Structure 1
Amino acid sequence: MIEADDGSRIEVRPGRREDAPQAARLWLESAREHAAYDAVYEPSLDAEKMMRNFLADLSSGGHTFLFVACVPDSERDGTERVVGFVSGELREGSPTFRPRSWASVDDVYVTPAYRSFGIGMNLMHRVRNWALERGTSGVSLQVATGNRRAQDFYRKLDFRAVSIYEVLEFSAPEDA
């Protein structure tokens, strides 16, 4: 259990299907933040709906993970509000390299009001333990080149950069 400045208790736990709508809204916040780094991260119009379905499926898979950070919802008695999440899946490395499997983090996000309380660290430790239980080679992820805060955070967790993801975008043809 983590405690925020306002005294609220933050629980980090495995995600459930019913957490998917709130986690999908957080994913959309994350995408909008990332769009400030590069337009390639602009979400589609139906992105939240697609993520809601995707995250609901992740919560019940044996090769996928969803962990959420929750606080009691002061506006609705007995309910929780999701303030952070991490999601991903097991992935096999390239067959051309030494055999490895990875717990691949697809998305991790903590709402700005709840940053710097250790939530992200706790979420990533959950992923690490999940990966160790499955005998993987480690944890992998991608991070936006403009997101220095996230890069510094991952360095504190002993991640190291091993490749650079590059894109070449073609401009969209004018309406014909």
Structure 2
Amino acid sequence: MSDSIMPIYREATSADLPAICVLGQVVNLLHHEAWPQLFSPASDPQRDDEYWQKSIGNISSTIFVAETSGEIVGFVTVRIVITENETILQPMRFARVESICVAMAFRGQGIGRELMSRAEHWAINNDAVDIRLSVWVFNQPALRLYEELGYEVRSQSLGKALTKN
């Protein structure tokens, strides 16, 4: 990317779905390579069209995209979650970042940071008081980014494969 070409950031439309699906496969491949026993292999990018579509034009979720020269080079999905009447949790309206991806050729240029900033501002404008996300331990670049943005580890999820004897 040329230094003079700055990405345009905007909310996604249905017309962006093909590009979002392709980038979604980048995320899928990263996860599959690290944990093939948990994540299915990347396949037809349009496989996930319906999954991404539900966040577009929805009052409680959205997708922001980064576009450079007409090409979608990154996206972030964020949704509002409301906890009520749960025995151990305080009632709360918070945002959850579901997915974020920046195309390999565009990483290290601040696009992920700006997408996260857009997600945070959207959350604030939708009355969220907290924002959360999950990240797999193998994804060290993402972990570093989130820590630099002020995110902190609040819980850990452990797993163990089981086999019959």
- Shared fold (TM-score greater than 0.5)? yes
Name the counterpart of 1:12. 9
Name the counterpart of 2:93. 101
Unaligned 5+ runs, structure 1: 73-79
TM-score normalized by structure 1? 0.83
Residue-by-residue CA offset, 1:48-89 (whole Å, 9 max, x unaligned): 3342122223111010110001111xxxxxxx2111000131
Name the counterpart of 1:75. none
Amino acid at match of 1:51: D
Q: Select which of 46, 70, 75 maps to 2:67.
A: 70
TM-score normalized by structure 2? 0.88
Cα deviation, residue 134, structure 1: 1.1
Whether the 8 Å contact between 2:25 and 2:43 is mirrored in structure 1 is no
Closer/same/farther in 2, CA of residues 160 and 18 from structure 1, 3 Å limit: same
Closer/same/farther in 2, CA of residues 7 and 41 from structure 1, 3 Å limit: farther
Name the counterpart of 1:86. 76
Closer/same/farther in 2, CA of residues 107 and 43 from structure 1, 3 Å limit: farther
Name the counterpart of 1:142. 134
Determine what percentage of the aligned residue pairs are the same residue: 23
Closer/same/farther in 2, CA of residues 171 and 84 from structure 1, 3 Å limit: farther
Amino acid at match of 1:87: T
Whether the 8 Å contact between 1:20 and 1:53 is mirrored in structure 2 is no
Give the aligned CA root-mean-square deviation in angstroms. Answer: 2.0
Distance 2:66 2:106 in 1: 10
3-state DSSP class of the match of 1:165?
coil
Cα deviation, residue 6, structure 1: 5.1
